[in-house]
Structure 1
Amino acid sequence: MALSYRSRKRLALLILVIGMPLYVVVAVNVVDWANARFGRLPILAELAVFIGLGLMWALPFRRIFRGIGQPDPDQPQDKNE
């Protein structure tokens, strides 16, 4: 079942407003836990971990975000514009 453009737009907004901040909090807590458990990583390794975590959240949602910035394809086009 494919989501409509409007549903995908609302879901993308929900993910960005609620899901993204929650994911950031979880990612920072995981890195802090790893620092406390195993000691601080070198700065480049820590940077790599944060970049990896930053990319990892978007992979499951790429189909939802694809085409959101474009005009609604379901709406009829006005040829006078």
Structure 2
Amino acid sequence: MHDATEATTTPKSDDELKELVSLARLVAYARENARDLNAEFSAYCLDLAFGALIQDLDRSGVSLSHESGQDSSLFGTRH
């Protein structure tokens, strides 16, 4: 596992940024499924994970606003 200070100072490659976005999509999808299933604690934990991923992306220069509700439009919708 990476040191927290290393993770904030090491620039990410395009491939790493794509992987972070993919991971954020996966977590957003799982979070919505948990909400639909009324799995409140799981949805809460996934929401925390999603917020952490958004922070990682913001620190890497990818600006996605979680608060504005853009996560569903940027990360796609469930089918």
TM-score (norm 2): 0.39
TM-score (norm 1): 0.38
By relative contact order (CA 8 Å, sep 6+), the higher-ranking structure is 1
